[in-house]
A and B are shown apart, each in its own frame.
Chain A
């Protein structure tokens, strides 16, 4: 069985005048179905770049990216949109909810683009919001909620389409530590239910919640393995804990 996510020599270069920034430099990695992986690294190490490529929001400069056996790198924008819609669920640091829509409508958006009928949409969105404990606020606007609640809405939105992978870029970055833990617990729960989760963070204690850690440095993978091995949290080059 092939891996759910597979990078083969994936590179992403940004040319800025004379200098070329190697945001991703020959990255090779495989993520299997059902894994809970944390991608860690310092600011500017290429985590978001990596996540954008996994999330089909961006395409690599070179190299190949296989998602569920399909070569995504060569796809047309519309095909990428469809893959994002059907196979991926996003959780952003800034929640990225649509402020004019209520919670139910927000969670319905991916289903709407998938062409799900109105009644089924309603039902599935309601279920997803109930799962994250917001079943009593279906008709509220995002601005009426706390940060943690908003992030739970975005989790509901990420999982409502039953995606292959849930991608979370610094999901706790804008939250206090207690709500952050709640959100993490929710991701743990989703993982236990069999979802594949890729979590991006610069915080080692958060990364420790995952099973496996991929550490990036200057666009390269410098560690890939068990989250609880001593090398996972402390890298020789950094000369200590981050």
Chain B
């Protein structure tokens, strides 16, 4: 009796009691489904975060200067010096001055637009291209010119694609638009990446009456240099302040790594909890197989009397358990995929984050492997019991 015939027999026995088989499989179905959705959710979150961080630039370091009271601060020139002295790892520097008054265009008021004072290197740092007009230049910074570059959203929505040469106001600060950035996001929206105004940091700092600049963005030559760049900056700032609490250097790559590993841990824990349901499912299979062996004692006796060896009976029952479990696994995968789609829609609707729940092929493979494995593992004991039955006792069984 070959494997294929044994398998067919297993399928027949399973088909003979569909409801029972389905209930037996339920634990496996739910377990596999949960593992797939949870791992998929984790994948989605990780991708979403990577994308978000990529737009911030994983090769950039963020520097915040808190200072030590009024005794000592750091000037923009000193910051430039630090960057210039370490060309191996540090590349560009841009102070970052965020303005809070809203943008006025004509008689209208726009609060969502971001307004940031930056250096002439800022666009190169971010990889932003200028679509119309020009970018900010060194002279704009040096002379604190009242100029700005706007995002394409501002250009399209407020200036009908005719922004260059027009003026806008940030509070009482009147700026002439000299350039328009290339569109960044696929879909522009209010408050998005394309709804922005960039002006010289010197102009912004003066307008905000800011004595010294506290926020900087520094880029490293490559992502691998992030750790080294962070160290260099930290050391240099320590040399100035002699106080670790006076400044803060944050590496975006590092943040991403930390967040990714946190998500990884959370997902692993959740997946293990979901995996426990697989275990429970396995015990369910064992239970029903034990019942099945008892019910079929006479059949086993007859088969043995007719010449079935122990190994054949063992194989029959193990295969039946494994098939039940694998069927459960397959159903779990189908439902898991379906639920991933539902979850994508639900999560997007609830959080308006464009998060896609993607089932990971590896987790699917693992789920199948585990469910078949559980079938074999938990089917083995009942199958062994069946195989060991004494033929005379089994024949006599009512």
A residues adjacent to B (C-beta < 8 A): 52, 55, 57-58, 77-78, 81-82, 84-86, 90, 92, 96-98, 100, 109-110, 112-115, 157
Contact = CB atoms under 8 A, between A and B. Distances in A.
B309 A90 contact: no
B308 A81 contact: yes
A85 B392 contact: no
Contacts of A86: 307
Identify which of A86, A96, A157 gathers the most chain B CB atoms within 10 Å of its CB. A96
A107 to B, nearest CB: 10
A81 B5 contact: no
Contact of A115 (B1, B13, B298, B305): B1
A84 B395 contact: no
B391 A57 contact: yes
A85 B16 CA distance: 27
Contacts of A100: 12-13, 16
B311 A110 contact: no
Contact of B306 (A52, A78, A90, A115): A90
Contacts of B1: 112-113, 115
Identify which of B1, B299, B306 gathers the most chain A CB atoms within 10 Å of its CB. B306
Nearest to B6: A112
B325 to A, nearest CB: 22
Contacts of A114: 307
A96 B298 contact: yes
B384 interface: no
A125 to B, nearest CB: 13
Interface of B: 1, 5, 12-13, 16, 298-299, 301-312, 391-392, 395
Contacts of B307: 81-82, 84-86, 110, 113-114
18 contacts: A77-B309, A78-B310, A78-B311, A81-B304, A81-B310, A82-B307, A86-B307, A96-B302, A100-B12, A100-B13, A100-B16, A109-B302, A109-B306, A112-B1, A113-B1, A113-B306, A113-B309, A115-B1
A81 B309 CA distance: 6
A115 to B, nearest CB: 7
Contact of A92 (B12, B13, B395): B395
Contacts of B5: 112
A58 B391 CA distance: 8
A112 B298 CA distance: 19
A58 B309 CA distance: 15
Contacts of B16: 100
Contact of A57 (B12, B13, B305, B312): B305
Contacts of A55: 305
A64 B298 CA distance: 29
B306 A82 contact: no
B383 to A, nearest CB: 16
A57 B303 CA distance: 12
Nearest to B308: A113
A114 B299 CA distance: 18
